[in-house]
Every structure is written in structure tokens, then in C-alpha cells.
Amino acid sequence: MLETRDTAQTICRGVIRALTQRGYATLAEVPLADGRRADVLALGRDGTLVVVEIKSSVADFRADRKWPDYRQWCDRLYFAVAEGFPLELIPEECGLMLADGFGAAILRESPTQKLEAARRRALHLRFARTAGARLLRLTDPGAGDPETFI
């Protein structure tokens, strides 16, 4: 069996592939304004924001008490797990994805909770600036610390 970190990376890759196929732009490990970090933040063509919380094991899930806080940062909240994870543990008020390294299936859609306009704008800017900073790091590693722009 894969180590927990490897499992999380595999789930993340599958989630990103699946969301990309659905027309979302995605970023992994996005810092949020409250100090938390979204495992995956996805931006839809219509401006919809999705947060996906990755759970690589039952222990990881049981240790996490912060997941309800992600509701304030998205229109839809999903958990993503690998095959073999006991799906009944995932709260009904969240969407559910089953992922592997090649993609993810949405087993349960997330209810939609619309963000207020100011928070949506702030998150759109954070998404764009994070993506730009990461692209700068790839294209010009000597340009300084792009994280200071976020």
C-alpha cells in the first residue's frame, strides 16, 4: 500500500485531471486568507469556486476537525478519497469524489452555497495571483520570491 503522502498526491492528481476535464482551472495547496490551505482550489468558467479536501486515510479524516471552515471559501466543497476508504465516513453535506492517479469520479455532488461577492472577488484574485506566482517561479526562478505577491 502507498504511504499516506504518496496516496494524497495520487488522489490530488486524479482530482485535478477530473476537474480539468469538467472545464475548471485548478491549483493544489492554495493558502487561504485565514491561514488554512485548500488541498485543491478549482475555478469554473462561470466563476464558481470549488474546494476539494483530500483524505488519504481514515486516520487523516478522523484527525481533521477543520474541514467545516472550508465552506466559507467556496461554492462547493468535496472530499476526495481513494478506493477502499469507507465512504460512509464522509459527511452527507459534502460532495464526494473517488480518485486514483488517472482521474476521479464524483459519487455525490456537493450542495451549492453561493459566496458573497466580496469574498468571491478576493478568492478570484488570490487564485490568479497564486497561479501567476507559480508560473513565474517556473519560467524565471531567479526573479525573486513570487509568494510575496500573493
Per-position pLDDT tens, the chain of length 150: 445 779 999 999 999 999 999 999 999 999 999 999 999 999 999 999 999 999 999 999 999 888 999 999 999 999 999 999 999 999 999 999 999 999 999 999 999 999 999 999 999 999 999 999 999 989 988 877 666 665
Give counts: helices (H), strands (E), the chain.
3, 6
CA angle 54, 56, 57 (to 5 degrees): 130
Q: Can you give the pTM of this predicted structure?
A: 0.91
